[in-house]
Amino acid sequence: MKEQFKEISKHLIENDKFNKIVSIGITGSYASKLKNGPDYQQKKLSDYNFYVYIDGEEKDSYYYNKLLRESLEKVLIDTDYTLDLHPFSFYPLDCSVDKMVQLTTRCILMNRKDLYASYIWHGWKKNYIELYTKQDIFEAIPLLKKDESWFRTIYHAINYYKNMILNIPLFTSCEAGRKVELIRYTKELIKDGVQILMESDLYESEEHYTILHGGKEEIMKFYSSISELMTLNNCIERILSFHDDDEKSIEETEIVSTFFKLFKILELTLKKQNQSIGLEHSFLWF
């Protein structure tokens, strides 16, 4: 896939009539595998995060998204891939869960870095593979800190996952398709739960990246150390293992139940942390 991403990058640059692309790169689990070897976080389905960074205004994103789609169609014409645009990655009539490539892609505005939390920028930086660059996109990114901006971002993120979970039954009547989406958003909640449940000093020293990059084993080791999660850990482990197991290994209702039990614990933890640093009156959602 790396050669195909190089071809996509080449097509983008050659057709960039406004000359606003400043960087193109890969991140996500696929980039981690390239950097750490093929056995890193073994998964059947790699997450290919392919991002285009532009020096432009919000209206420019429309043009560059069109150009990005054209480039993908030209290069990946013979590749079976799912384009994950968020909220959902599968079309309603598509019940396949055995896609070869899961691709997340978008154009990111460099003059609106604030649209993405500092932990997202630091996460990208950890395993970013540069395919084209005119400037250092990670220059002057904010330090990791559990401040007001972090609380707002992470709270909105977990509520976004909750809203997606609630709307999945309206998205498709296909059980296999529903289960894939349930697993995806529950995994996101589990991963964000690491930084929420972690002490501030460990978070600021980037310890949660070490845990997330360690895969299921490190995540479960962290979750097993938290007494409130004892009754959930068996289900959490099976959710994290979903792509390696038979799809019948966990029931749809079990995934939903685990999501909402974990959500309640994380929401309560955020409220307590928020109050402990004196921000309780600045959050309308509390």
Residues 121 and 155 in one domain: no
Residues 120 and 166 in one domain: no
pLDDT at position 28 is 75
Residue 88 belongs to domain spanning: 2-133
Torsion angle (degrees, nearest 10) of CA 134, 138, 141, 146: 150
Domain count across the chain: 2
Residues 123 and 192 in one domain: no
What pTM value is reported for the model?
A: 0.82
pLDDT at position 248 is 66
Give the C-alpha separation, 189 to 165, whole Å: 11
pLDDT at position 247 is 59
pLDDT at position 279 is 58
CA distances from 275 to 101, 268, 278 (A): 43, 11, 5
Residues 263 and 155 in one domain: yes
* Final residue before a domain boundary, out of 133, 164, 187: 133
pLDDT tens digit string along 207-259?
A: 999 998 888 999 999 999 999 999 999 999 999 988 644 556 789 999 999 99
Largest separation between any pair of C-alpha atoms in the chain: 56
* Final residue before a domain boundary, out of 133, 166, 183: 133
Residues 54 and 123 in one domain: yes
Q: Identify any residues that bridge with 49 across adjacent strands, giving them in sequence order.
A: 27, 104
Q: Does residue 167 lie within any of the structural domains?
A: yes
pLDDT at position 35 is 67
The SS3 call for residue 52 is: strand
At 129, which CATH number? 3.30.460
Low-confidence ranges of the chain (pLDDT < 70): 35-47, 82, 84-102, 243-248, 277-286
pLDDT at position 94 is 46
Angle at 124 (CA atoms; ends 120, 127), nearest 5 degrees: 145
* Final residue before a domain boundary, out of 99, 133, 167: 133
Residues 251 and 170 in one domain: yes
Give the C-alpha separation, 130 to 50, whole Å: 10
Q: Does residue 92 lie within any of the structural domains?
A: yes
Residues 159 and 270 in one domain: yes
Residues 125 and 169 in one domain: no
Q: Does residue 160 lie within any of the structural domains?
A: yes
Cis check: omega of the bond before 92, within 30 degrees of 0: no
Residues 157 and 272 in one domain: yes
Instruction: Please say whether the beta carbons of 21 and 77 come within 8 A.
Output: no
Residues 84 and 57 in one domain: yes
pLDDT at position 286 is 44
Residues 219 and 104 in one domain: no
CA distances from 187 to 36, 41, 63 (A): 22, 14, 32
Give the C-alpha separation, 10 to 24, whole Å: 10
